């Protein structure tokens, strides 16, 4: 217990000694104020992201076909390709 | 007012659940039938929710491809109504949804990547918090350090996975080289999400550091959390992790256990 107390004291003391946090103002500098309600980069107003859609933009009746593409075809093919879905089998990288 | 409420409920069922449009809907269009007009409205409804999900889950969209993502979100949208007037609140259930989504079953890491992305999304919109007040901390007598209850920033989240989700996330950030290799043998990953100067960041924590931080986040005192961690990880370096997370703005305040 004494060892642990020493350890905690040393850790807090070094924190205070380095003076990070308030004294440097490093965590939340005021020269970078966030406007209230600002959207994520590329997302703004009722057009919620950078794609072409907007409140008035979906002028079609339906732009989504109903059928599924069964196979994902994004970068997951680079992240080890198909993996075993069995919980207990270790995931292996595909080449 | 009840009449308006009924009209809106009926209209919502038409849009969301595909019920027949109520006869109350204005049919005085010259260029559209009611069915076409409702179809356009429904497409806007789905399109905006899809865009909200694409904004919250850009890594998932890249992993499965845009077409697959669109079809996946369409099913999600059919199962999950937006419960808030703020679209940024939409999509919290994605991780669980992906885990049950049959066409994505082979991508076993996908639910955890979704959980990490939602944590990043929430971190971005979390309330601001002041930096840890070291002047106030310096006033605490050292004999009481063990009683400190450390408070983490509302933007701070710890996401643990048996897959290398932090590496996957980093490989899909804007500016990351398109050619990457993810090592699935590197074991579990403790992804720490935090926000500094309005930028959301993802770090990896060692197992011991993550166990300790989880205790801290659960509201356990510094002494108890450290003792429990040291029991499992004798080489746990409190000083290093403390400096690290304070630098990243993870710790924002403290109180005393006995108050």
| A53 touches B at CB < 8 Å | yes
Residue-wise pLDDT for B156-172, tens only, equals 999 999 999 999 999 99
Residue B176's pLDDT is 87
Residue B156's pLDDT is 96
The fold of the B124-259 domain, in CATH, is Outer Surface Protein A; domain 3 (3.90.930)
Facing B145 at nearest CB: one of A12, A25, A48:
A12
CB contact under 8 A, A22 and B133: yes
The segments of chain B whose pLDDT lies below 50 read: none
| A85 touches B at CB < 8 Å | yes
Q: Sheet containing B189-196: which strands, arranged edge to edge?
A: B157-161, B189-196, B199-205
CB contact under 8 A, A58 and B247: no
- Rounded to whole angstroms, the Cα distance separating A9 from B26 reads 73
Question: What six digits make up the tokens of B146?
Answer: 């063990």
CB contact under 8 A, A48 and B64: no
**ipTM score above 0.85:** no
Strands (E), B4-97: none
- Rounded to whole angstroms, the Cα distance separating B124 from B58 reads 14
**CB neighbour class for B218 (10 Å; exposed up to 12, middle 13-18, buried from 19):** exposed
Residue A19's pLDDT is 72
Comma-separated ranges of CATH 3.90.930 domains in chain B: 124-259
Residue-wise pLDDT for B215-232, tens only, equals 999 999 999 999 999 999
Residue A26's pLDDT is 41
Residue B103's pLDDT is 92
The segments of chain A whose pLDDT lies below 50 read: 22-34, 36-37, 44-56, 81-95
CB contact under 8 A, A74 and B63: yes
């Amino acid at each position: 217990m004494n060892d642990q107390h020493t350890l905690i004291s040393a850790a807090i003391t070094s924190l205070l000694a380095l003076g990070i946090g308030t004294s440097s103002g490093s965590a939340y500098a005021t020269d970078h104020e966030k406007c209230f309600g600002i959207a994520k980069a590329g997302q703004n107003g009722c057009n919620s992201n950078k794609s072409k859609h907007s409140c008035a933009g979906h002028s079609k009746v339906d732009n989504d076909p109903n059928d599924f593409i069964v196979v994902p075809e994004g970068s997951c093919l680079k992240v080890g390709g198909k993996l075993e879905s069995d919980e207990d089998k270790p995931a292996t990288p595909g080449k | 007012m009840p009449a308006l409420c009924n009209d809106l409920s009926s209209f919502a069922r038409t849009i969301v659940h595909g019920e027949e449009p109520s006869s109350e809907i204005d049919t005085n269009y010259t260029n559209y039938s009611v069915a076409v007009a409702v179809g356009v409205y429904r497409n806007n409804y789905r399109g905006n929710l899809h865009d909200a999900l694409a904004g919250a889950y850009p890594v998932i969209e890249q992993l499965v491809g845009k077409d697959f993502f669109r079809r996946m979100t369409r099913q999600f949208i059919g199962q999950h109504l937006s419960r808030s007037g703020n679209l940024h609140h939409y999509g919290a259930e994605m991780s669980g949804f992906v885990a049950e989504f049959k066409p994505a079953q082979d991508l076993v890491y996908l639910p955890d990547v979704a959980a990490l992305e939602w944590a990043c999304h929430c971190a971005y919109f979390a309330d601001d918090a002041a930096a840890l007040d070291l002047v106030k901390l310096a006033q605490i007598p050292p004999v009481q350090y063990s009683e400190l209850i450390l408070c983490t920033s509302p933007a701070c989240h710890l996401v643990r996975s048996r897959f290398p989700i932090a590496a996957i996330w980093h490989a899909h950030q804007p500016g990351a080289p398109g050619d990457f290799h993810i090592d699935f043998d590197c074991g579990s990953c403790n992804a720490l999400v935090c926000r500094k100067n309005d930028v959301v960041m993802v770090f990896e924590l060692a197992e011991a550091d993550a166990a300790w931080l989880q205790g801290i986040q659960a509201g356990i005192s510094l002494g108890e959390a450290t003792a429990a961690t040291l029991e499992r990880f004798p080489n746990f370096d409190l000083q290093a992790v403390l400096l690290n997370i304070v630098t990243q703005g993870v710790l924002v305040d403290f109180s005393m256990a006995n108050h």
